[in-house]
Structure 1
Amino acid sequence: MSPGGIPLPDFARLLAGEARAECLSAGDPGRRVLGISVEEPVEGWLGPDEAAVTDRAELDASFLKSLAGSGCPAVVWRAPPERTPGEAPQLAAGLGLALFRVSPGVPLRRVLGALSDGEGLLRLSHRAVRELLEGAGEWTPAEAAERISRLLGRRVVVEDAVGRLVAGGEDNPLRELLEREELRASRPSGVDETRRDRRDRYARLPDGFLSVPVERWRVAGRELFWVPLGGGSPAGYLWVDCEGSPLGTGDVIVLYWARRVLEGALGRERIRLETELGMRGDLLDDLIAGHYGSVDLLLQRALYLGADLSRGALAAIVDIDEFARYLERRRLKEPAVQELKRRLADAVRLQARQLFSGFLLGPRSDNVILFLPPSPEAPPDTLRERALELSGRVQRYVRGLLPDLTVSVGIGRYREDPAELPEAYSEAEMALRIGHRIKGPSSVSTFEETGTYKLLFRVLQESPEELESFYAETVEPAVRYDLRYGTGLVQTLASYLRNDASTSRTASELFTHRHTIRYRLERIRELTGLDVDRSEDRERLALGIKAMQLLGRAPEEPSPLSDR
């Protein structure tokens, strides 16, 4: 069959031979049939130049008009001979539609076989096998996509299982559209379910049928098509540009073999990445522990993995929030847990590539570690801001990829000396842990922000009982009072200290009268024995609040109740 379908008279002849169809209306002999669609209760089930197959009891005028309006050239009515067509033949003829009746006992595959020219499609299948499978074991996804595009005569884009567009060429309008609209088959897309269509496309060869699952999306004023690569959890997805030329039977044959080639190519790419991640993980473990030998050896190992750390780097840690609770809630088995970690690492790498070059990235436990070096595009004085931008990008991307998962990020200071990279990691880890304790999930914290928190955090790590004692001697009585009566003493104190001991600014921030602020501060003095009007006591109260936050003892925001 030619890429543009077959003439309607030839379709009628083939349908009569394959399915013993009765012709009730010849239709427009100048039309061509590109494919066959079986009626479904979803919008968009019929494409232009596709023949419609229906089991309706009656063919009314509105139904036939809707088919003609969709560009349908022919209708295949599956109805017993004793059922009268009524005025359907005359209505179809007036609309230029061909109408055929086929017995319901005829298998659907015989109807589909009317589009096959047998030997021609078999030759196409053999050519596709030869072009795509010979030597395919050595192809990258990009190389395989190039051959598939050439065979189809269409632009294609390959997406892997975590949403990276790994092939498709830079000058590719389809790829540009997917990037601009942030469309991925691997994650929730925002495409309205009523504007989606999933079904198999078939091609009949002399020795059997080939089928390919295809999903059609309507986005940005056009139709987009993609094919999953592999069953179950797909290895990836192949996007196909069908602008101005719907998929034909020949395309189905090429796509059938293309799925197998790309599934293998993506599988090999995944093995390569997992091996590389393992090597990166080993290097990161040695770097963090300071067991990497000489600095020269460290830099050589990093260069082997594509990372240039000769000018030092800034460290960042992307950590899954409350990972143990997440696993308990989802009840994931170990293979699924490892897949989740791999997808997170790939997501972080994808976003980091857009802002940094020559960086080192690797998974470790339930987090992803990055060492972000300076470059001509990212000089040292911009690393912190770029790391903060990366944090936001990663959090947004993870929300789209795994909607019920959140991550926090800790960012250290830039260390110019590669020998100080272990300290850069320690700073990022401290920023992460302090930020999570103070801000909660989805926090982003830098080491510079930690201030006196880092001193108290070291006390918490080395002598937690000392921090507990200091907390008890400062703000704990006010915390207990808030928890018992639902008042806002601690909230008021925090606001007062944050506003440089200004009663008026505190009252404005809390939408409360100044007299109420003074009353609460006096109540704090009575409970703690510390007076906010004395600088020494004020400093102790400020440290007490920070100790409270690190210990996780902060009371909830009070409801609007009267003070007691």
Structure 2
Amino acid sequence: MTLEEFFDNLVGELKGRRIVPGEPSRAVRGIAPEDDAAGWLGPDEVVVTARETLDDGFLDDVVGAGAPAVVWRTKAEPAAETVLMLEERGMGLAILPPGVPLRRVTSLSRERAKSAANGAGDGLLRYSHGAARALLEPSGATSSVEALTERLAGLLGRPVVVEDPVGRLLAEAAPSGVPPGAAPSLHDFLEENGLRASRGSGLDDSRRERRDRYARLPGGFLSVTVERWRVGDRELFWTPVGTGTPAGYLWMDLDGGPLEPQDIVVLYWSVRALEAELGKERVRLETELGVRGDFVDDVISGHHGNMDLLLQRARYLGADLADGAMAVVVDIDDFAGYLGRRRLKEPAIQELKRRLADAVRLQARDLFSNFLLGPRSDNVILFVGPSEGVAPDELPGMALDLAARVQRYVKGLLPDLTVSVGVGRFKGNPSALSDAYSEAEVALEIGHRIQGPSSVSTFEQTGTYKLLFRVLQEEPEELETFYAETLEPVVRYDSRYGTELVHTLTTYLGNDASTARTASELFAHRHTIRYRLDRVRELTRLDVDKSEDRERLTLGIKAMQLLGRSPSKPSSFSDR
């Protein structure tokens, strides 16, 4: 294609304006959007730029690289001096409105369109080379997911959003010329509708289009995996980044029209570029989590050297624990059973743990400014310290808020997985951090034994449970003996005859030994409640009307809960 043909198409199809004709017979072999990377411009490539002015230095650089012309995306009129500089250098100049998508510029020639339609040809291959260079070559020390997303939006001429494996929307970008506030951004639309590719359940099947699972070039020699979603009158799609377990997801709006062959080429290279950038972010996160996990292990075991060194390490990791902290433990319920059902391999197991750690970190960051997080086995441990505006006595309530947030987030992220949370007491002395963790672990274990999965328990609320739990840990046979002497006969009776003596006794003791309140809560007559309590006395030789016996029965119930010995076949059959 000659420069004259290129300018004719620019004026005719994109409403551009030719200012300086340049050398009309000069060959145009490609389009090169301006970039900071070295080698971004090749011989006979037209430069596309949105800079404010075309200065001498810039023009000398593009002339030296062999550019035949400049397409200036601007609303301004070029100054006479600028026109003169271009004429002196033998370069062409065209003005193009900033709102025209860059992808329209790169698909101007009829030859290129024809070769794209046929799925082959030098035009599409040159475009593929240019897209790969634009997306891959700038990656390096100064690269980032955000910068790559900006370049991608410019090449596609559409809004794009990058989502990570745990549902965070890491970056968003829109092509230049899109007026802000003209319509809800793609990012805001995803947030408002709770749409996430990583969750899969973000959209019900009635609104999800699964028929078109690949975007292919004509001829089929190149394809990109996509999933189209329609929400209301808006159509969008996402494509996974990476093979196997995705490193993330790329969202794109389809309101600008269907995908063209050039778009598919850009998507093909963008997935590879994003995989590299997200991989670097993942390595950074894994390294950071490893360092944090080592710190937590040292705190728990007490192998941290002197206290000054411990606090120094904490500050290095972003937390000031000099004024003490409280511990929070987030644990996956029945992790072994979950793995058995899912039959996950080791890489997937590690990815699951990373997802949990990242989910906890995201929620903690919204509540606390002074915390340190570290993964350990199948749980995540936080040490939360006071900060400006947050006193120590406020931390327990905030920790419960964190627990609720984490459980909701995990349920949305991994619907068939649940977590329990244990919260310790605040320790004002940093030398007691290991005690803070021990309390949180005790609260977690007691809560799980009593409440089951998805429990949230604080050490303050455990009461006498923690005393019995210590007995269970140190001398389990003692707790077994106590249980056998108190509640075991009642549990055995309920299991055999389908009665509800244990439930009645628990309700009665929870209502401060009030027969009337117990009868009201259980929708039973007071005489029925009295009869059941008499059966308990016959089985245990402990009388609920005596304070000492009531105390033993109360502890017997707690021992039963800690040992997991509730009646095996509770039913609504009448008492016998």
For the aligned pair, the TM-score class normalised by the smaller chain equals 0.7 to 0.9
Question: For the Cα contact (< 8 Å) 2:331–2:421, is it kept in 1?
Answer: yes
Q: 2:139 is matched with which residue?
A: 136
Secondary structure, aligned partner of 2:361: helix
Cα deviations by residue, 1:26-84 (Å, 9 ceiling, x for unpaired):
xxxxxxxxxxxxxxxxxxxxxxxxxxxxxxxxxxxxxxxxxxxxxxxxxxxxxxxxxxx
User: By how many angstroms is 1:300 displaced?
Assistant: 1.8
- In the alignment, the residues of structure 2 paired with residue 111 and residue 196 of structure 1 have an alpha-carbon distance, to the nearest angstrom, of 30
Q: Which string of whole-angstrom CA distances, capped at 9 and with x for unpartnered residues, describes residues 151-178 of structure 1?
A: 3233221112222222227998222222
Equivalent residue for 2:215, pick from 201, 215, 218: 201
Corresponding position: 1:218 with 2:230: yes
Shift of 1:382: 2.7
2:161 to 157, 176, 197: 157
Residue 152 of structure 2 aligns with which residue?
A: 148
8 Å contact from structure 2 (residues 117, 261) kept in 1: no
CA offset at residue 117 of structure 1? 9.6
- 1:304-343 matched pairs, under 5 angstroms: 304-343=316-355
CA change 1:177–1:377 in 2 (3 A) is farther
Give the alignment of 1:544-563 within 5 angstroms. 544-556=556-568, 558-563=570-575
1:264 to 276, 279, 282: 276
Give the 3-state SS of the residue equivalent to 2:367 in structure 1.
Answer: coil
Tell me how far apart the structure 2 counterparts of residues 374 and 304 of structure 1 sit (CA, whole Å).
17
Aligned mates of 1:410, 1:165 — CA distance in 2? 29
Q: How has the CA–CA distance of structure 1 residues 112 and 379 changed in structure 2, closer, same or farther, with 3 Å as cutoff?
A: farther
Hey, what does 2:286 align to over in structure 1? Answer: 274
Shift of 1:272: 1.2
Q: How many Å apart are 1:451 and its aligned residue?
A: 0.5
Residues 222, 382 of structure 1: CA spacing in aligned structure 2 closer, same or farther, 3 A cutoff? farther
Which amino acid in structure 1 is aligned with residue 485 of structure 2? Answer: E
With the length of structure 1 as denominator, give the TM-score of the two structures.
0.76
* Structure 1 SS opposite 2:330: strand
Deviation at 1:524? 1.0
Cα deviation digits, residues 340-378 of structure 1 (max 9, x gap): 222221222222222222321121111111112233464
Kindly state the Cα deviation for residue 220 of structure 1 after the two structures are TM-superposed: 4.3
Aligned 8 A contact 1:319 1:366 in 2 = yes
Identity of aligned residues (%): 68
Q: Which amino acid aligns with 2:209?
A: R
Secondary structure in structure 1 of the residue aligned to 2:200: coil
1:123 to partner: Cα distance? 4.2
Partner of 2:262: helix, strand, or coil? helix
Aligned pairs for 1:87-486 within 5 A: 113-114=116-117, 120-138=123-141, 139-168=143-172, 173-194=185-206, 195-197=208-210, 198-203=212-217, 209-376=221-388, 378-486=390-498
Q: Displacement, 1:261?
A: 0.5
> 8 Å contact 2:536–2:542 — kept in the other structure?
yes
Runs of 4+ off more than 6 Å: 169-172
Q: Residue in 2 aligned with 1:59?
A: none
Contact 1:112–1:202, Cα closer than 8 Å, also in 2? no
Q: Secondary structure at the match of 1:191?
A: coil
Residues in 2 aligned to 1:452 and 1:265: alpha-carbon distance in whole angstroms: 52
TM-score by length of 2: 0.74
Q: 2: distance between equivalents of 1:483 and 1:309?
A: 51
CA distance in structure 2 between the aligned counterparts of 1:166 and 1:329, rounded to whole angstroms: 32
The Cα shift of 1:556 comes to: 4.4
Moved more, 412-421 or 512-521: 412-421
Cα distance in 1 for partners of 2:399, 2:173 equals 28
Residue 137 of structure 1 contacts residue 265 of structure 1 at CA under 8 Å; is this kept in 2?
no
Secondary structure class of the residue paired with 2:366: coil
- Partners of 2:132 and 2:331 lie apart in 1 by 45
Partner deviation per Cα, 1:274-316 (whole Å, 9 max, x = no partner): 1111111100000111221222222221222222323322211
Q: Say whether the 8 Å CA contact 1:314–1:372 is kept in structure 2.
A: yes
For 1:127 and 1:330, how far apart are their aligned partners in 2? 43
Task: Provide the secondary structure at the position in 1 that maps to 2:163.
Answer: strand
User: In structure 2, what residue type is equivalent to 1:199?
Assistant: R
Contact between 1:313 and 1:414, CA under 8 Å: does it hold in 2?
A: yes
Counterpart for residue 56 of structure 1: none
Q: How many residues align?
A: 456
Distance apart, 1:547 and its partner CA:
0.8
Q: What's 2:49 paired with?
A: none
Kept after mapping to 2: 8 A contact 1:316/1:412: yes
Unaligned regions of 5+ residues in structure 1, if any? 11-109
The alignment partner of 1:315 has SS state of: strand
Contact 2:353–2:378, Cα closer than 8 Å, also in 1? yes
CA contact (8 A) 1:229 1:259 kept: yes
Residue by residue over 1:87-118, the C-alpha shift from the partner in whole angstroms, topping out at 9 and shown as x without a partner, is: xxxxxxxxxxxxxxxxxxxxxxx999537795
* Residue type at the aligned position of 1:418: P
Hey, what's the Cα distance between the residues in 1 that align with 2:157 and 2:391?
44
User: What is the identity, as a one-letter code, of the residue corresponding to 1:162?
Assistant: V
How far off its partner does 1:230 sit?
1.8
